[in-house]
Amino acid sequence: MTKPSETTEDLLVPIFFMGKRYDVPPSLTIQKALEYAGYQHIRGCGCRGGVCGACGTVFRIPDSYKLQVGLACQTVVQPGMHLMIMPYYPGNRSSFDIEEMNGTGGEVASLYPEIFKCIGCNACSQGCPMDIDVMHYMAQAIRGDIAGVAETSFDCIMCGLCASRCPAEEVQFNIAILARRLNARHIIRRAEHLEERVKEINNGKFEIPLRDLMSKSKEGLKELYKSRETEPQMSEDDWKPADARYV
Q: What is the mean pLDDT of each run of 10 residues along the chain (247 residues)?
A: 51 94 96 94 83 92 92 95 89 94 95 95 94 97 97 95 93 96 93 90 93 94 90 69 48
Domains present along the chain, CATH in parentheses: 10-85 (3.10.20.30), 98-187 (no CATH)
pLDDT at 189: 87
pLDDT at 245: 43
pLDDT at 86: 86
Q: What is the mean pLDDT of the chain?
A: 89
pLDDT at 1: 45
User: pLDDT tens digits for 39-85?
Assistant: 988 876 889 889 999 999 999 999 999 999 999 999 999 999 999 99
pLDDT at 21: 97
Distance CA 8, CA 12 (A): 7
pLDDT at 246: 42
Strand partners, 15: 22, 81
Sheet holding 81-85, edge to edge: 20-24, 13-17, 81-85, 56-60, 68-71
pLDDT at 192: 87
**pTM, entire model:** 0.73
